[in-house]
Amino acid sequence: MLAGDYVTTDVAWPAPGTVSTADLGPLRDAGFHSVLLSSRNVSATTTARVRLDGIDGLISDDGLSEIARQAVESLGDAALQQGLQRLDTALDGMAAVAPGRSVIATLDRGWSVGATHVHELLQNIDQESSAQSVGLAAVLAGPAADAKVVDGSVPAAGAALVGEVVGTVAPEAAFATIAGDQATKITAPRRLQLLSTMSVAWVESATGWAERLQSYLASSSALLAKVKIVHGSSVLVTAANTTIPVTVSNALSVPVTVLVNVAPRRATLHVGGADVQLKIEPDATARALVPAQAISPGTVLATISLHSAADPSVAIGARDTMTVNLRPSWEGIGTGVIVVLLALVFGGGIVRQVLRRRRNRAASVDNDDKAPGDDDPGDGPATDAAPDAAPHDPGSRT
């Protein structure tokens, strides 16, 4: 949009009927040499160039502009021819009243989809015997008459929000520094939205401009809240030297880098050193571990804040508060408990091993002390007894 080969860049073109006398000074101070006004915004004049208070005025004829707009936006050949005939009639009348005068007609600056007959309009003017088309430079170099501004007005509801809308540009640019080299991926779309929101098409509209401005302000607040601290539960610290976990979310479509700061409100928790740098990928969360030292037991409130890594003076998002419960003595108690448990486990294992070895040794000695023919009921099943003696026969003799 800004790379065009412009003929001039020092002509301001406000919305028709919106300029007042008090606006001329600021326009001049902004670097404009001329201002393009509608004919209803100035006193009567028969020339397209006038001298105003410290600045030149270019006057567009409201009646001729309306006829030209209807012609270029007409539907069908019949409507186009009727529009061009009306334009010819208007030019003939102007030439009859003030021969040789200059006149400016402007087209609509809204959606250009319907302006399909601009070529036919320009061609018709070139063929008109009572008119001749010239460039704007010829009008700027032509004669000028004195005139005064007839104060116009801007819709009050929208005008009250303009300053607030423009005021969002600087905070958004500062916020975008968290994206580093990709900052334009944040600022460029916002720039286009701002240009659309401030378009004169909205100013000329009877309704909708204030709502459009309010919507832009809401989107600005939503943008600045897309990188924020994720509020979590309280933190329990059981060691003298520890870290404070801080989770940060990034709802942008680009990676960002921030500095995480934890500021305790009491001296019982000490956070020293530089802020912790944290990179968060697009649509993701990441956790920073901030080194800290618990000085004494107690409960401490800590304030967490984010800053841009590229510009630490830029605060990112809203601050958050975290409750930190300090129990540094638990570290010694826990260590003692662990030592006792380890002693019991390893000591019990050693005792069991010693007792097992003693039982095995005693069993081995008992086996060695037995006579070779001794029965050992535990060695296996008993052997079969000898067969019974034959029954005694009373008749027999030994």
What does the pLDDT look like over 232-244, one tens digit per residue? Answer: 888 887 777 888 8
CB atoms within 10 A of CB 313: 8
Whole-number Å distance between alpha carbons of 21 and 228: 46
Span 68-84, average pLDDT: 89
Which pLDDT does position 378 carry in this prediction? 47
Beta bridge partners of 236: 325
| CA–CA distance, 348 with 356 (Å, rounded to integer) | 12
Residue 367's pLDDT band (cuts 50, 70, 90): low
Give the H or E element holding residue 12: strand 11-12
Q: How far apart are CA 26 and CA 46, in angstroms?
A: 27
pLDDT of residue 380: 46
Output the pLDDT for position 209.
Answer: 86
Render pLDDT for 28-53 as a digit per residue (tens, 0 to 9).
Answer: 999 999 999 999 899 877 788 999 98
pLDDT at 113: 66
Q: Is the pLDDT of residue 310 over 50?
A: yes
Residue among 31, 118, 109 at smallest CA distance from 71 = 118
- Average pLDDT over every residue of 362-374: 61
pLDDT at 381 over 80: no
pLDDT at residue 390, as a whole number: 45
Report the pLDDT value the prediction gives residue 187, as an integer from 0 to 100.
96
Q: What is the mean pLDDT of residues 194-219?
A: 86
Q: What pLDDT does 384 receive?
A: 47
Q: Domain coordinates of the chain in residue numbers?
A: 11-146, 156-224, 228-326, 329-361
Residue showing tokens 């406000």: 14
- With a pLDDT cut of 70, the percent of the chain lying above it is 85
Q: Which amino acid is at 323?
A: T
d(CA 152, CA 227) in angstroms, rounded, equals: 43
Greater confidence, 3 or 58?
A: 58
At residue 190, the pLDDT reads 95
Average pLDDT over residues 51-70: 90
Note the pLDDT of residue 396.
44
pLDDT score, position 292: 86
**pLDDT at position 387, please?**
47
Q: How far apart are CA 219 and CA 217, in angstroms?
A: 5
CATH superfamily of domain region 228-326: Immunoglobulins (2.60.40.10)
The dihedral over CA atoms of 155, 159, 165, 167, expressed in degrees to the nearest 10, equals 170
pTM over 0.85: no
Mean pLDDT of 269-284: 89
Rounded Cα distance between 182 and 36, Å, is 38
Label residue 272 by pLDDT band (50, 70, 90).
Answer: confident
- Choose between 379 and 54: higher pLDDT: 54
**Nearest 5°: phi and psi at 394?**
-60, -20
Q: List, in sequence order, every residue forming a beta bridge with 34; answer none if it has no partner.
A: 11, 56
- What residue has token string 């303009």? 162
Which one has a higher pLDDT value, 124 or 7?
A: 124
